[in-house]
Amino acid sequence: MKQKIMPLITIIALFLLGIFMPVILKQYHLNMLTEIIIFALFAVSYNLLLGYAGLLSFGHAMFFGLSAFVTAIAIIHIPGLSLWNVILIGVGAAVIVGFIIGGLLLRHKGSYFALLTLAFNALFYAIATKWHSVTGGDDGLSITRPGLDLGFTSIPLDSLTNFYYLTLVIMGAAIVFCWYFTHTAMGKTVLLMRENEERMKFLGFNTNISRLILFTFTGALAGLAGVFYTLHFQFVSISAISPDMTTAVLLMVFVGGTKKFWGPLLGVFVYIILQNYLSNITDRWPLVIGVIFVLMVLYVPGGLSDVIMNVWQRFFEKKDNNGGKSATAEEV
């Protein structure tokens, strides 16, 4: 019983905490928090591929960046476009591209999958860089956030506080759905495929279709994060779709740890705060993050969530040789 209620309490507590944040935080920090929440969805969607399905993609930024660009282009070229339609178009683009590229990739796993996703990401990056008339090339695109139309009333999103609340609700709902997804039939199917794909085929599962569905789904989530990225900064540049963005999300997920659902959330929090403070101190902040990453891979390959779990088990749980094992099995 305790196990079923705990996540629910955590989710409600985090939302309540989120609601009071604009009161507590200064604009600068609220800005950072909004960015953290957006990247949290991006990282969680990436971990569904990496941590749950065991698929190492080097192309997750193509969805994030594609939707970010499509959002900016749609707002610029279609006057009067409502926020809902912006989201719909942005996510729709990611779904279509995810489905097509996923269809081309679905027979590949391991390093072939990693390299092919990298290649596709590079292709999108090249298009964004060269197609200057549409994407703005190196200069990027600036937009103004449209207001939020709720039918009976409309809320302007010029103020950061309003936009923060919208981000909290939509990104939060998407992250909660991702958590729920890991417990559903499809979520378990993906996990079991990582464990033993051959057996899954003999149990009647079409594993290629499953991979395609997952790839499209995580692409759509990354796309949703990309839409909010553009809306948040009211600007998009080629950095959103560059392979560096994929590396960034990989680092976030890795720092937090892939084994727990909340690992990437922690990773994003640490990464973005670190990046903000380090970039104030030195221009060579990627060097520091790189060193931290190397040290983590060498000494804490399970990420921060693993460290926390170990400490927790040492102090709060009785030593029980069998308990640890069956807990992992249950969680699965």
Partner 1 sequence: MSDYLHIQNIHKDFSGLKVLTGVEFKVTEKERHAVIGPNGAGKTTLLNIISGKFKPSSGAILFKGKDISGKPPNVLNHYGLARSFQITNVFQELSVFYNVLAGVRSHHGLRYNFFKMPDHDRNICEKVESILEDVGLVDVKDQPASSLSYGQQRALEIAITLSTDPELILLDEPTAGMTREETNQAIQMIDKVTAGHTLIIIEHDMEVVFSLANIISVLHYGTILVSDTPEKIRNDQRVKDAYLGEG
Residues 93-152 that bind partner 1 (CB under 8 A): none
As to burial, measured by CB atoms within 10 angstroms (0-12 exposed, 13-18 middle, 19+ buried), residue 236 is buried
Output the CA–CA distances (angstroms, integers) from residue 224 to 93, 100, 114, 278, in the order listed. 10, 18, 22, 28
Separation between Cα atoms, residue 67 and residue 88, nearest integer Å: 10
Minimum Å gap between C-beta 34 and partner 1 is 28
Is 329 an interacting residue with respect to partner 1 (CB under 8 A)?
yes
Token pair for 2: 């305790």
Angle ∠(147,11,195) on CA atoms, nearest 5: 110
Separation between Cα atoms, residue 97 and residue 241, nearest integer Å: 14
Count of residues touching partner 1 (by CB under 8 A): 31
| Among positions 5, 151, 153, 202, the unique one binding partner 1 when judged by CB under 8 A | 202
Do 44 and 264 touch, CB atoms closer than 8 A? yes
Is 316 an interacting residue with respect to partner 1 (CB under 8 A)?
no
| Among positions 130, 132, 183, 284, the unique one binding partner 1 when judged by CB under 8 A | 183
Minimum Å gap between C-beta 41 and partner 1 is 17
Query: 98 or 146, CB closer to partner 1?
Result: 98
Separation between Cα atoms, residue 76 and residue 70, nearest integer Å: 10
Query: 220 or 225, CB closer to partner 1?
Result: 220
Residues 203-242 that bind partner 1 (CB under 8 A): 203-207, 209-210, 213, 217
Separation between Cα atoms, residue 300 and residue 321, nearest integer Å: 22
Query: 189 or 246, CB closer to partner 1?
Result: 189
Which residue stretch of 81-89, 164-172, 176-184, 258-266 sits at the interface with partner 1 (rule: CB under 8 A)? Answer: 176-184
Query: 183 or 284, CB closer to partner 1?
Result: 183
Which residue stretch of 23-31, 233-241, 269-277, 318-326 sits at the interface with partner 1 (rule: CB under 8 A)? Answer: 318-326
Query: 175 or 268, CB closer to partner 1?
Result: 175
Separation between Cα atoms, residue 288 and residue 221, nearest integer Å: 29
Minimum Å gap between C-beta 291 and partner 1 is 33
Separation between Cα atoms, residue 272 and residue 153, nearest integer Å: 34
Query: 187 or 243, CB closer to partner 1?
Result: 187
| Among positions 12, 201, 290, 310, the unique one binding partner 1 when judged by CB under 8 A | 201
Is 199 an interacting residue with respect to partner 1 (CB under 8 A)?
yes
Query: 151 or 204, CB closer to partner 1?
Result: 204
Query: 310 or 326, CB closer to partner 1?
Result: 326
Long-range contacts at 69-72 (CB < 8 A, ≥ 24 apart): 69/128, 69/135, 69/141, 69/230, 69/236, 69/240, 69/241, 71/143, 71/226, 71/227, 71/230, 71/231, 71/236, 72/141, 72/142, 72/143, 72/230, 72/235, 72/236
Pick from 88, 61, 62, 60: nearest CA to 74: 88
Q: Which residues bind partner 1 (CB under 8 A)?
A: 181, 183-186, 188-189, 192, 195-196, 198-207, 209-210, 213, 217, 322, 325-326, 328-330, 332
